[in-house]
Amino acid sequence: MSNRPEPGLPDARIGPRPWVWRRAPEVIALSRSASDDKSLGWLSGVSGLGDNLYYSPELSRQPAAPSLDSPMQYLSPVAAVIAAKALGCRIPTAEEWTAALGEKPATGNVRDASWKKQFSHVQTLVAKGFDVPGPGSGAFRPFGTAKPSAADEGAAVTDADDGFLWFAPINSGAGAFEHLLGNVAEYVTEDAAGLDAIAGPDGVYAAAERAEKVKVIGGSAIAPPSIDPRVPQAVGRTQARGGFADVGLRLAFPAPRSGGGSETDWRKQVLGQAAYLPPAK
């Protein structure tokens, strides 16, 4: 996750963040709703609205509080690389991600009718004088690109409605690889071997700044339509240090195959050597 807030200071991250740092003991925990928080724990600073609702009453499904099935996000590139390595894996290459996607249509949990209704509702709250974050706040923006135009800031990707304003639970997608498009975007590398050879966090940040190693792909539930979800997007060193509200990671690992044997035997062998799986009982 992004940098821990200093003791006694509020969580200053912008946009949805279902996971937060907890102290004593220091752990990553689910975000819980404060007494006056009308975002149900998804956002920071949504209070003092009186009788006004933060979520639009026109949503097809009112958001539920974050759960253990909420995807991990707000990871910096360094955190994603280190977390993957700690699990005996790595982040996928852009080519691997594209191969997993295949020829699937550009659908998924993206800015849709629910997002558009929430955007209009927040505009009404702002017009009343309330300082509340919009549904696109904290979204990743490619390095070197201009701030989104007013039209792009309020534009939806589709008129369909999947019922999820924020991030859908993991294991709720379809297909062998779930949520490749939409939900949360993912870090990918264009040089897995080179990234593994980088020494220390500073090297990862420098590679991300030069747009040589780490990029973002896949789009998200809050990403603007101007970003092509199938194209790896550059990540800037400064902007990446705190992570992004809509970028997480997907794990990958090599699976070389040699000799004979069936497809089933090969898969059992590969998974049996995976460091992220518990020992077989």
Q: What are phi and psi of 77, to 5 degrees?
A: -55, -40
The reported pLDDT for the residue numbered 280 is 52
CA nearest neighbour of 120 among 108, 136, 96 = 136
Check pLDDT > 70 for residue 14.
Answer: yes
The rounded distance, in Å, linking the Cα atoms of 4 and 24 is 13
Decide if 223 contacts 229 (C-beta within 8 A). yes
% of the chain surpassing 70 pLDDT: 86
Reduce the DSSP state of residue 197 to 3 states and report it.
helix
Altogether, the residues listed in the chain come to a count of: 281
Mean local confidence (pLDDT), 263-277? 72
pLDDT band with cut points at 50, 70 and 90 for residue 4: low
pLDDT tens for 157-192 read 999 999 999 999 988 877 778 899 999 999 998 877
The rounded distance, in Å, linking the Cα atoms of 102 and 176 is 11
CA nearest neighbour of 140 among 76, 90, 203 = 76
pLDDT band with cut points at 50, 70 and 90 for residue 263: confident
Check pLDDT > 50 for residue 16.
Answer: yes
> Is the model more confident about 197 or about 37?
37
Mean local confidence (pLDDT), 110-132? 95
> Is the model more confident about 65 or about 10?
65
The reported pLDDT for the residue numbered 5 is 57
pLDDT band with cut points at 50, 70 and 90 for residue 281: very low
> Is the model more confident about 43 or about 78?
43
User: Which residues on adjacent β-strands are paired with residue 268?
Assistant: none
pLDDT tens for 45-99 read 788 898 999 999 999 999 999 999 999 999 888 888 888 887 778 899 999 999 9
The rounded distance, in Å, linking the Cα atoms of 166 and 172 is 13
pTM here is 0.86
